[in-house]
Chain A
Amino acid sequence: MVSSLADPGSMSGGDSSGKKEIIPEKALIMSGYGINSEMETQEALLRAGMRSDIVHINDLIAGATRLSEYRLLVFPGGFSYGDDTGAGNAFANRVRNNLWENVCEFLDGDNLVLGICNGFQILANLGIVPAFGRTPAREIALMPNRKGVLECRFVTLKPAAENLWTRGISHLYCPVSHGEGNFSCTDETLQKLKSKKMVAFTYCRDDLGAANGEFPYNPNGSLADIAGITSEDGKVLGMMPHPERAMEFVNLYDWPLRKEQLVRAGKPLPKESVNMQLFSNIVDYFRF
């Protein structure tokens, strides 16, 4: 899964290395029980202009921290409960059995929720996506990858809908790293997701052509190449790939080749990667 010379996979986001102005709204990044991507997620948001607190779920349950003080709730990547009883399922149960009212209240406000990888699995098990008619219910599943093992590699994504999350994004190029990311739902649900423009990102080929289920472009066998969806009201995004793991040009799989090409063409090296646009979009939602 590597870019050809004409490949857009690497970088086109432009260099915006100047520090962004920090907005007053804050994000809460959930942690605990094997969630593990909270620090890089915090870093990505900060670089985009949003401060955040990493909060252990037990501190939320105990009331030591209040969700209502935040505008963005992030369920980051990880291996909560070791993926036992189904990836994201046990953590979702912990949320549902202890925090459900707070989360529902949060969803009713003018707030955003982001779930990446394990976070998406948690959102799916909570039914916060797709949440047709704003009613949480389990309607999708992220099943074990077709290959039966964890798959870690860079993938190319393209937006499948225009919404606050995908604004200005031509494509993303970032890692997947999961054992259970194989998107599945009924035909009926799929039709609804498509007709309501809730498919946010799909896996695609390096030239942005459809992956059509073909490995490794579609790394896990996901139905309709779906990599991420939003809730019906658009305020929740769940996605399997990890834009926060490739914030910089030098994090990209093919950067050494791109660098040689840019240097020989007399062009400067970008600092940020295209993946930062997703985080900038989140911050812009609050900024404007």
Chain B
Amino acid sequence: MASHIHRIEVRYRDDPRQKTRTDRIRSLGIPVDAVHLVDVYTIATRARDFSQSELSEIGAQLVNPVVQEYTVDRATSAAFDLAIEVGFLPGVTDNVGTTARQTIEDYSGYRFGEGEAVFSSQLFLVCGALSPESVERLSATLANPLVNRVHVKTREEYGERGMDPVAPFVSLHELPTAETVDLDLDDSELARLGKEGIRDPLTGERRGPLALDLPQLHAIRDYFRDRGRRPTDVELESLAQTWSEHCKHTIFASAMDDDVPDGLYRTCIQAATNAIRKKRGDRDICVTVFTDNSGAIVFDDTFLVTHKVETHNSPSALDPFGGALTGIVGVNRDTIGFGLGAKPCINVYGYCVGDPESEPALFRGKDRERPVLSPRRILDGVVHGVGVGGNCSGIPTPQGWCYFHDRYVGKPLVFAGTVGVMPRVHGDRKLYEKRARPGDLIVMVGGRVGKDGIHGATFSSEALDPASPVTAVQIGDPITQKKFSDVLVKEARDLGLYRSITDNGAGGLSCAVAEMAKESNGCHVFLDRVPLKYPGMAPWEIWISESQERMTLAVPEEHLDAFMDLMERRDVEATVIGRFTSSGRCVVECQGAVVMDVGLDFLHDGLPKKHLKTTPVIAKNPEPAVPCPDRLDSTLLAMLRRKNLCSKEFISTQYDHTVQGGHILGPVQGAGRAQGCATLTKVVPGSEKGVGLSQGLFPLYSEIDPYRMAIAAIDLAIRGLIAIGVPLDGIALLDNFCWCSSDDPERLWQLKRAAFGCYDGAIAFSTPFISGKDSMFNDFSGFDGENNPVKVSVLPTLLISSIGIHPDVKKAVSMDAKCAGDLIYVLGETKEELGGSEYFMHLGSLGNRVPALDLDRARERYGRLTKAIERGLVASAFPVSHGGLLTALAKVSIAGMIGMEIAVPVTIRPDYYLFSESLGRIVVTVSPGNRQEFEETLGTDAMLLGRVGGSSFRVTAGRPMVDLRVAEMEAAYKAPFGRF
């Protein structure tokens, strides 16, 4: 371990963030006077010490002397009451420390070796008299106990010497060999093995869940019994990864009841796509669906675009920043790992969290142990994490949403997606196809392997040992990934240096290599060649570690030198760890011993089949009994302030949505900066075409009618794109199911109904699914403050994402009302459909009448609007969704910062008419000069509501209902998150 430790402390003379930081902490109810920040670099070496003059020069390289100052091995002196230092725990990715190390190496010519490192930490110097309780809350705000160490000193304790130097090295004393595991156990012991994991021979403790059930364990036992030996821990852990719900999607793959013998995925999702592709024939837009890391559609004659949306829910619940960051950079790798490597060109996000103003008292342990993070902490963390991931990677993040509901307080949902672009061919190679051949070398590129993410987000007992690496959560390193992303998709791909590539995601090497081994029909891996972050890891850990920022490639022998040379020149670590074979087996060696030897057929297809049963659940909620208000002025303002309807612009502006230069329609639109439903981005310079992205999500509908919920999600995802001018035949869909309690027959019935809705919706619009993902157990089980067991399950949540090719971005239509005198129309019919609506939530009811959609009429209507947009007849268009017609009109008005005069018919109660969430509707404004042609194009689908103009928003429904100034509506719309 390091014997020379030095601290360099850096601070701004006059910190520009000082006020914001202090205000923010005060807004959380902690009465600080000021919070100063000092950046700390702890340099720990053993083979060489740095002199004071060298350290002084190093310090000079870590600051800008115009505005910053630093000290070497001397405490920062300042007036304060309390010092709180926040650093990382051993083994947590420390990007700042790594950059500082590289700078020092570059400057000094000295290469840091084993047991030497630079660690970053932050020292907060707090002014103000805080109670012990406030100090604890402040520490909890500044640090996450899962990844951070916290040191607190009073001014007196700090004295002249300041904080103590700490170098959080990982130190392991494990037996780095593979063990065999006895499966000849009675069923109760076997079940325990599946639930709690293999007993570690050294510590006697369980290693964490394998998540294998009894039939699966029996199948594994029988396989090895036939071969006359016990499985090794490497084999068992590897099978557990490959057979996991995450990798094999057993719930979507299994037979269900009597009517779904082939499973929901084949019956509903894949079958819809197959039928649509067949019907479309030559006009099929799909290139690759379901089989690769992303789905791909045709962009134009030269290019294709890919899309993939993932979730990262459990890690984000524990460490919102790290979980969301690894979520977004992880899905970037699904782009880089598509075909031979597509270039990530757009990121998307979506967050389902609890109300950020609520403070739920939920605990993972008894006696108020391990409290869940507050929704505010989770929201702040995930917003920041996805932002850092996209911003640092140079990928624009224009498109996204937030949805708030108390059912997400136990477990948030974090969706992260990436669109990629690549030429369809390079020379005579199809870039969307890949195949490792026997004899190709297995090369791992990117970051090194540590204990990160082993057994996912379970708490292993080791996490309690202070020198153990943190395993439950990971922090991403976007720059390491950016380096290999650039060299792979901008250089190595087109040089033809590799034959196949995939992402190391869930299950790490075990899944990535075994998956690619299907292409050549075998692999042989040498685990001791895998570069490690620190010594002492066991073979099974190396094999299944989920350390981030890694890809696995198949490099033919004849290109190996060129490939490795290029990687070295780009400062990307690449290591040959084995060879693809045609043996039909997955063989893994470590230190000369075979630690895994399993047939690929058993590994991939040995999983016992299941037959799932469902039980219908029919909702019978009463409709609310509140009479229609006389006026709706205050109701509209209250609706605009609802967190699911108001502006979340604070996210849009901290996400770079302009990099790569393709911004056409961004996340906020118009002079009033309202948030649109869809975005449009150019991804090929010089092309007239653009990529439109949108989404639909109605989790509240699920508990009433999951079939209609799915139709609603598909319809809105499509309608968002239709409104900006993307024609229906250029649109494809992605599904993300985030369900709960998926072993409960009622939840499975809801799942089945939703999947049937997906089939019917996709078929009716002829929009194929190209990619999907599911996460089936989003439940929190723990305790309330009084030790009562509590289970909080998420709403059954289906996110439908849409991607569509806009034929000519100059013709795209934004949401903002443009000119005084323009006519306002609504397309589509309004019915009394408020079950699960935002208005009913506002009234405190759920209701039962979820919107239904006449799919055929909607399809025709969308075709007519597309025609009108092509002809340039439409000045603005915006889909009616959550919050209904009045909310949509108000947003169009706010976006344009211009008033409206509107009269709606009195067919039903005015408040119901104005807030109904009937599907298939779009609000459109039209220049008076285009009136006739527009009405002829749209036919009876278009109903004239009024005119744009003035500074007031007035609505009548037989009588005056609303008269508000646009500025008032804008203020309400922007109030809830105005100070975030």
Name A's B-contacting residues (CB within 8 A).
2-4, 31-34, 36-37, 39-40, 43-44, 56, 58-59, 62, 64, 77-79, 81-86, 89-90, 93-94, 97-98, 124-125, 138-141, 143-153, 175, 177, 179, 182, 184-186, 221, 242, 244-247, 250-251, 253-254, 256-257, 259-261, 263-264, 269
Interface string of B660-681 (1 = CB under 8 A from A): 1111111001111100000000
Pick the contact of B16: A43, A138, A144 (CB < 8 A): A144
- In the assembled complex, B17 has its CB within 8 A of some CB on chain A: yes
The 4 A-B residue pairs with the shortest CB-CB distance, nearest first, are A36-B394, A40-B661, A84-B99, A256-B814
Which residues of A sit under 8 angstroms from B20, Cβ to Cβ? 146-148
- Choose among B65, B96, B657 the residue that contacts A152 (Cβ–Cβ < 8 A): B657
Give complex CA distance A33, B102 in Å.
11
B17 touches A250 (CB 8 A): no
Pairs across A and B, CB under 8 Å, 21 listed = A33-B483, A34-B482, A36-B482, A37-B394, A64-B569, A82-B96, A89-B61, A90-B103, A93-B106, A97-B107, A124-B64, A143-B16, A146-B20, A147-B20, A153-B653, A179-B391, A245-B661, A253-B666, A256-B669, A256-B812, A257-B818
Asked whether B127 is an interface residue with its Cβ less than 8 Å from the other chain, the reply is no
| Inter-chain contacts of A179 with B (CB < 8 A) | 391
When distances are taken between beta carbons in the complex, the residues of chain B under 8 Å from A4 are 671
Q: Given contacts A33-B571, A59-B569, A185-B66, are A177 and B658 in contact (CB under 8 A)?
A: yes
How near does chain A come to B70, taking the closest CB pair, in angstroms? 11
Interchain CB contact under 8 A, A143 and B12 = yes
Given contacts A141-B64, A144-B16, A263-B872, contact A97 B106 (CB under 8 A): yes
Within 8 A of A (CB), among B947-968: none
Cα–Cα distance between A143 and B813 once the two chains are bound (Å): 38
A246 touches B479 (CB 8 A): no
Q: How far is the CB of B734 from chain A (nearest CB, A)?
A: 25
B107 touches A151 (CB 8 A): no
Bound complex: CA A254 to CA B896 (Å):
11
Q: How far is the CB of A8 from chain B (nearest CB, A)?
A: 15
Please determine whether A260 and B819 come into contact, CB atoms closer than 8 angstroms. Answer: yes
| Docked CA distance A138–B12 (Å) | 15
Chain B positions within 8 Å of A90 at CB level: 99, 102-103
Q: Does B865 contact A (CB under 8 A)?
A: no
Q: How far is the CA of A31 from the CA of B571 in the complex (A)?
A: 13
Q: Are B661 and A31 neighbours in the complex by a CB distance under 8 Å?
A: no
Question: Which chain B residues in 83-118 approach chain A with CB under 8 Å?
Answer: 95-96, 98-100, 102-103, 106-107
- Cross-chain contact A177 with B664 (CB below 8 angstroms): no
In the assembled complex, the CB of B644 is this many whole angstroms from the nearest CB of chain A, namely 23
Q: Taking beta carbons and an 8 Å cutoff, which residues of B are in contact with A?
A: 12, 16-17, 19-21, 24, 61-68, 95-96, 98-100, 102-103, 106-107, 120, 387-388, 391-394, 478-479, 482-483, 486, 569-571, 652-666, 669-673, 682, 685-686, 809-810, 812-814, 816, 818-819, 872, 875-876, 896, 927, 929
Which residues of chain A come closer than 8 Å to B99, judged between CB atoms?
81-82, 84-85, 90
Given A58-B570, A85-B103, A150-B654, check contact A245 B659 (CB 8 Å). yes
- Which residues of chain B come closer than 8 Å to A64, judged between CB atoms? 569
Do A56 and B569 touch across chains, with their CB atoms under 8 A apart?
yes
B815 to chain A, nearest CB (A): 9
A86 touches B100 (CB 8 A): no
* B478: min CB distance to chain A, Å: 6
* B812: A residues at CB distance < 8 A: 250, 256
Could you tell me the distance in whole angstroms from the C-beta of A83 to the nearest C-beta in chain B?
8
Q: Closest Cβ of chain A: how far from B68's Cβ, in Å?
A: 8
- Minimum CB–CB distance for A269 against chain B, Å: 7
Q: Using Cβ atoms and an 8 Å threshold, which residues of chain A touch B103?
A: 85, 90, 93-94
Complex: A231 Cα to B929 Cα, angstroms = 53
Q: For the complex, what is the distance from the CA of A152 to the CA of B652, rounded to whole Å?
A: 8
Chain B hits for A254, CB < 8 A: 671
* Chain B residues in 8 Å Cβ range of A186: 66
User: Which of chain B's residues have a CB closer than 8 A to the CB of A138?
Assistant: 64-66
Q: Chain A residues near B68 (CB, 8 Å)? A: 86, 141
Q: Give chain B nearest CB distance to A279 CB in angstroms.
A: 12
B658→A246 contact, CB < 8 A: yes
Distance, CA A264 to CA B930, complexed state (A)? 10
Q: Are A141 and B67 in contact (CB under 8 A)?
A: yes
By the criterion CB–CB under 8 Å, are A39 and B660 in contact? yes
A245 near B658: Cβ-Cβ < 8 Å: yes
Cβ-defined contact, A221 with B16, below 8 A = yes
B354 → chain A closest CB, angstroms: 22
B47 to chain A, nearest CB (A): 21
* CA A82 to CA B896, docked complex, whole Å: 37
A contact residues around B571 at 8 Å (CB): 32-33, 58
Tell me whether A182 and B100 are in contact (CB under 8 A).
Answer: no
Q: Is B479 in contact with A152, judged by CB distance below 8 angstroms?
A: no
Q: Are A81 and B659 in contact (CB under 8 A)?
A: no
Report yes or no: B66 in contact with A84, Cβ–Cβ below 8 A: no
Other A-B pairs beyond A34-B483, A97-B106, A138-B65, 10, CB < 8 Å: A2-B673, A64-B569, A77-B659, A79-B393, A146-B19, A184-B67, A221-B16, A242-B658, A244-B661, A250-B682
B653 surroundings in chain A (CB, below 8 A): 150-153
Residue of B394, B660, B929 contacting most chain A CB atoms (<10 Å): B394
From B100, B392, B652, B670, residue with most partner A Cβ within 10 Å: B392
Q: Which residues of B contact A184 (CB under 8 A)?
A: 16, 66-67
B107–A93 touching, CB < 8 Å: yes
- Give min CB distance, B73 to chain A, whole Å: 19
- Chain A residue numbers with a CB within 8 Å of B570 are 32, 56, 58
- Bound-state Cα–Cα, A72 to B68, Å: 32
Say yes or no: B479 contacts A146, CB within 8 Å.
Answer: no
Partner of B479, one of A37, A81, A261: A81
Inter-chain CA distance A246–B570, complex, in Å, is 29
- How far, in angstroms, from A151 to B61 measured CA to CA in the complex? 26
Least CB distance, A127 to chain B, in whole angstroms: 10
Q: Is the CB of A139 within 8 A of B17?
A: no
Q: Give the complex CA separation of A141 and B96 in angstroms.
A: 19
Q: Tell me, in angstroms, the Cα distance from A81 to B482 when the chains sit together.
A: 10
- Rounded to whole Å, the gap between the CB of B276 and the closest CB of chain A is 31
Let me know if A143 and B67 touch, CB within 8 A.
yes
In contact, A84 and B819 (Cβ under 8 angstroms): no
- Give the docked Cα–Cα distance between A195 and B658 (Å): 34
**Out of B654, B663, B665, which one reaches A246, CB within 8 Å?**
B663
Q: Tell me, in angstroms, the Cα distance from A66 to B896 when the chains sit together.
A: 52
Contact B63 A34, beta carbon cutoff 8 Å: no
How far does the alpha carbon of A141 sit from the alpha carbon of B663 in the complex, in Å? 29
Specify which of A2, A43, A247 lies most central, judged by the most chain B CB atoms within 10 Å of its CB.
A2
CB distance from B39 to the nearest CB of A (A): 8
**Cross-chain contact A40 with B66 (CB below 8 angstroms):** no
Does A152 lie within 8 Å of B658, measured CB to CB? yes
A22 to B840, CA, bound (A): 63
Report the minimal beta-carbon distance from B732 to chain A, rounded to whole angstroms.
Answer: 24
Residue from A32, A82, A245 in contact with B95 in the complex, judged by beta carbons closer than 8 Å: A82
| A264 lies within 8 A of B658 (CB) | no
Instruction: Assess the A152–B655 pair: CB atoms within 8 A.
Output: yes
B96–A84 touching, CB < 8 Å = yes
- Is A82 in contact with B479, judged by CB distance below 8 angstroms? yes
With A141-B66, A144-B16: A177-B656 Cβ-Cβ less than 8 Å:
yes
- Contact present for B95 and A250 (CB under 8 Å): no
| Contact residue among A125, A144, A148, A251 (Cβ-Cβ distance under 8 Å from B661) | A251
| Cα(A182)–Cα(B896), bound, Å | 31
**B62 to A89, Cβ gap below 8 A?**
yes
Complex interface: chain A residues within 8 A of B685 (CB):
39-40, 43
Contacts of B665 in A (CB 8 A): 256
In this complex, what residue of A is CB-closest to B387? A150
Q: Assess whether B62 is in contact with A85, with CB atoms less than 8 Å apart.
A: yes
In the complex, are the beta carbons of A146 and B17 less than 8 A apart? yes
Q: Which residue of A lies closest to B822 (CB)?
A: A260
Complex Cα spacing A124 to B659, Å: 22
| Nearest A-chain residue to B17, judged by Cβ | A148
Q: Is the CB of B657 within 8 A of A79?
A: no
Most buried by A among B16, B17, B653, B655: B16
Task: Give the residue name and chain of the A residue nearest to B813 (CB).
Answer: A256
